[in-house]
Amino acid sequence: MSLFFAVPAPEGVRAHLEECAADVSRVAPEASLVRPGNWHVTLEFLGRNLDKDEDAVARAKAALDALEPHEFSFEVQGMSYFTTREPNHCIVWAHVEEVHELRHLREDLRDLLVRKGFKLGHQEFRPHVTLARKVNRIAAAELMEIEFPEYSYFAPAEKLQLLHGVPAEDGSVRYEPLATKALA
Domain boundaries defined on the chain? 2-182
Higher-pLDDT residue of 148 and 125 is 125
Q: What is the pLDDT of residue 147?
A: 67
Q: Which residues contact 132 (CB under 8 A, 6 or more apart)?
A: 21, 24, 25, 28, 31, 32, 33, 34, 91, 92
pTM of the model: 0.88
Q: What is the pLDDT of residue 148?
A: 60
Q: What is the pLDDT of residue 149?
A: 57
Q: What is the pLDDT of residue 179?
A: 97
**How much of the chain, in percent, has pLDDT values that exceed 70?**
97
Check whether 184 has a pLDDT greater than 90.
Answer: no
Q: What is the pLDDT of residues 23-73, one digit of tens each?
A: 899 999 999 999 999 999 999 999 888 878 899 999 999 999 999 988 888
The answer to whether 163 and 19 have CB atoms below 8 angstroms apart is: no
Class of the 2-182 domain?
Answer: alpha beta
**What values do phi and psi take at 182, rounded to 5?**
-70, 140
Centroid of chain to Cα 36? 11
Q: Distance (Å, rounded) from C-alpha 84 to C-alpha 44?
A: 20
The answer to whether 94 and 41 have CB atoms below 8 angstroms apart is: no
